[in-house]
Amino acid sequence: MSAAGLRIAPAGGLTGELAVPGDKSISHRAVLLGAISSGPVQVRGFGASADTLSTVAAVEALGVEVEQAGEDELVVHGAGLRGLDAPHGPIDVGNAGTLIRLLPGILAGQRGSFELTGDESIRSRPMERIAEPLRQMGVEVETTDGRPPVRVRATGHTRAVSYELPVASAQVKSCVLLAGLFAERGVTEVREPLPTRDHTERLLRAAGVPVDRSPGRVAVSPAGELHLDEVDVPGDFSSAAPFIVAATALSGSNLTLRGVGVNPTRTGLLTVMERMGARVGVFRRRLQSGEPVADVEVRPAELVAADVEPELVPLLVDELPLVALLACFAHGVTTIRGAGELRVKESDRIAATAAALNGVGGHVEPLEDGFRIRGVPTRLRGGRVDAAGDHRVAMLGAVAGVCSQEGVEVSGASVLGVSFPDFADRLAAVSA
């Protein structure tokens, strides 16, 4: 990659086999729950990236020892449920939204004052969504005009609440559930308007915490201790997604992705792709640390437009830019609605996706809460994509590049390090 950007050449197809890095959402959670477990927790398949390393640095700042035990293996020496120390200065989360939303739920049960901040993009992201329920739980939380820096003053105990999420967000749900572990008594309940990723619930169960679940509702009781022992992190579906999409769009593809997490709260992309006529097979399904894992095989396909309705959005929230790209190749018009949350991700992903795809020859109309895309079943022209400081937009630009006539130059592509540092090399390795 030059300082100017990453140049992606057109490809005839993606072929061969590939394993993607460990799931980012689960890697964050394994380290955070590891930090408050009793005793050491072995984390295998840890997806090391700028975001997840911010979580390691955060728990270290809170007095937890984290040992690098192998290339993608960590041992987190848990300090116990209430064993975290107040650090000397602010905790810098970098670009990690999951860290800044989940950690306050854990800090709610410690003693002391904590300040969390991050990079410029993090400092523009809404934080009242976690501050509000934490205040209801008796925790003092201050935001800066609704955004980071965030200050948490905690006394070691919280009050159990029944909280209805105003937006479907796994980060907010997780924060409230984590704070519920520290309630003096009673059950903390979160009700969600639509199902969101459930990795926190699964990992809490693996750590011995009874988690009560019914449709639209999840509840935890105060915990005595967490015993996690080991976590085997599956491959990240969101990192597999750019490859699945590119291999579908390119006529010469025959690609297998091994060991991918296929938790149904994450695989909405496959639902939409099936409607579009894609040929994606999910084989060798198994369970790994309570998470569904499989191998994914992708063949090229001619696509037809298929709308994405609001109910599906949380199940593919991070893949919506890629759906917009696929829709560029599909016969007909695709409409995506109910995705207003994309406006407050690492970038305004509605604006950034439309700008990226229109800049390389697509026909994408940004809507307030989604997109309307007119598909033309030929390659995109190609050109230049600005990553807009957003790793998912950088990956989108690279996928557009392999599917283009002239190639794509992705500027600001170093932001790929946020979730998938060697993405460009892996893409080159399977590009034919």
User: Nearer Cβ to ligand S3P, position 197 or 379?
Assistant: 197
Give least dist CB 318 to ligand S3P, A: 5
CA–CA distance, 99 with 118 (Å, rounded to integer):
10
337 or 363, CB closer to ligand S3P?
337
**Minimum CB–partner distance for residue 112 and ligand S3P (Å):** 25
**Residue with smaller CB distance to ligand S3P, 99 or 357:** 99
CB 274 within 8 A of CB 280: yes
What is the chain's alpha carbon radius of gyration, rounded to the nearest angstrom? 21
Tokens 């197809």 label which residue?
A: 13
Contacts of 123 (CB under 8 A, 6+ apart): 117, 144, 147, 148, 149
User: In this structure, what are the phi and psi dihedrals at residue 99, rounded to the nearest 5 degrees?
Assistant: -65, -45
Q: At its nearest, how many Å lie between ligand S3P and the CB of residue 62?
A: 20
CB of 193 to ligand S3P, least distance (A): 12
Q: Which CB sits closer to ligand S3P, 197 or 372?
A: 197
Nearest-angstrom CA–CA distance, 119 and 96 = 9
CA gap 35, 314 in Å, rounded: 28
**Beta strands 408-411; 383-386: pairing state:** parallel
Which stretches of the chain bind ligand S3P, using CB under 6 A? Answer: 25, 98, 169-171, 174, 197, 317-318, 341
DSSP secondary structure letter of residue 414: G
H or E, element range at 360: none
- Alpha-carbon distance of 432 to 269, in angstroms, equals 24
Ramachandran class of 33: left when φ > 0, alpha when ψ lies in -120 to 50, beta otherwise: alpha
Least distance to ligand S3P, CB of residue 312, Å: 13
H-run or E-run covering 426: helix 423-430
Task: Give the tokens for residue 339.
Answer: 């995705």
Find the residue with minimal CB distance to ligand S3P.
25
Closest CB to ligand S3P among 344 and 428?
344
Tell the smallest beta-carbon distance from residue 25 to ligand S3P (Å). 3
The answer to whether residue 51 is catalytic is: no
d(CA 399, CA 402): 5
CB of 107 to ligand S3P, least distance (A): 17
Among the options 318, 348, 369, 386, which is catalytic?
Answer: 318
- Residue 44 bridge partners (DSSP): 73, 232
Asked if 215 and 368 count as a contact pair (C-beta separation under 8 A), the reply is: no
Contact 321, 393 (CB under 8 A): yes
DSSP characters for 4-43? TBEEE---S-BEEEEEPPBPHHHHHHHHHHHHTSEEEEEE
Report the nearest approach of ligand S3P to the CB of residue 11 (Å).
27
Instruction: Using the minimum distance from each CB to ligand S3P, give the nearer residue, 169 or 404.
Output: 169
Task: Give backbone dihedrals phi and psi of 88, rounded to 5 degrees, phi first.
Answer: -75, -35
The residues carrying an active-site annotation are 318
